[in-house]
Amino acid sequence: MSAPPDVPTVAFEDLGVAVPGWVLGLAVAAVSAAIVAVLRAEGAPIAVQVVFGLVGASSVISPSSAAPAALGGAAALASTVYHTGGVLAPAVLALVVLVHLLHVSAGLAAIVPRGARLHLSVLRRPLRRFLAIQAAVFTLAGVAAVAPVGRNPVLLEVFAVLGVAGLAVVAMVQLRRR
């Protein structure tokens, strides 16, 4: 039994630089700490910072738990409470990047054992996608920044909410097709 001739052969030595799997846990910890730092800069009290710190630690210990979701979601909601600046303030933009980064790094950390070797070439495609999505979101933010401020028609808002609900339905259908 042999592989077809058109299958490329890759030597283990050519896989490139590898780092230990726990580096991903370190990345989750760094992102969590950065989120807490942003909230602190926004004026969140110490107790809130401690709670967010504990949730961040839980995300590091168990990235496949609900902790990263709680941290990202709660950080976004907390910014509505403590944020007093403009909509496109640096703190908000930082959270846009950090919550996404937390989502991606926790997803990867959840499947990589701490003792594994992570070859850095595996991060190339997720990084490219991350940058593309961030570019799209920042474009949206730029459009929102130049758009006129005022009350939207009710019908438009209903369509917007229905659109979001439609996206959720599409995602559920995709899941069920599996």
Does the footprint of another protein cover residue 66 (CB under 8 A)?
yes
Q: Which is nearer to another protein, 46 or 175 (CB)?
A: 175
Q: Do 16 and 119 touch, CB atoms closer than 8 A?
A: yes
Find the angle CA(25)-CA(31)-CA(35) to the nearest 5 degrees: 140
DSSP 8-state class, residue 83: -
> Minimum Å distance from CB 178 to another protein?
6
Phi, psi of 118 (to 5 degrees): -100, 110
Dihedral of alpha carbons 56, 60, 65, 69, sign:
positive
Q: Can you tell me which of 46, 77, 146, 155 binds another protein, judged by CB under 8 A?
A: 77
Q: Which is nearer to another protein, 54 or 140 (CB)?
A: 140
Copy the structure tokens of residue 44: 């969140």
> Minimum Å distance from CB 57 to another protein?
17
Q: Can you tell me which of 50, 54, 61, 87 binds another protein, judged by CB under 8 A?
A: 87
Q: Which of 78, 75, 92 is nearest to 145 (CA)?
A: 92
Interaction with another protein in 95-114: which residues (CB under 8 A)? 95-96, 99-100, 103-104, 106-108, 110-113
Does the footprint of another protein cover residue 41 (CB under 8 A)?
no
Interaction with another protein in 137-156: which residues (CB under 8 A)? 137, 140-141, 144
Does the footprint of another protein cover residue 160 (CB under 8 A)?
yes
DSSP reduced 3-state for 118: strand
Does the footprint of another protein cover residue 58 (CB under 8 A)?
no
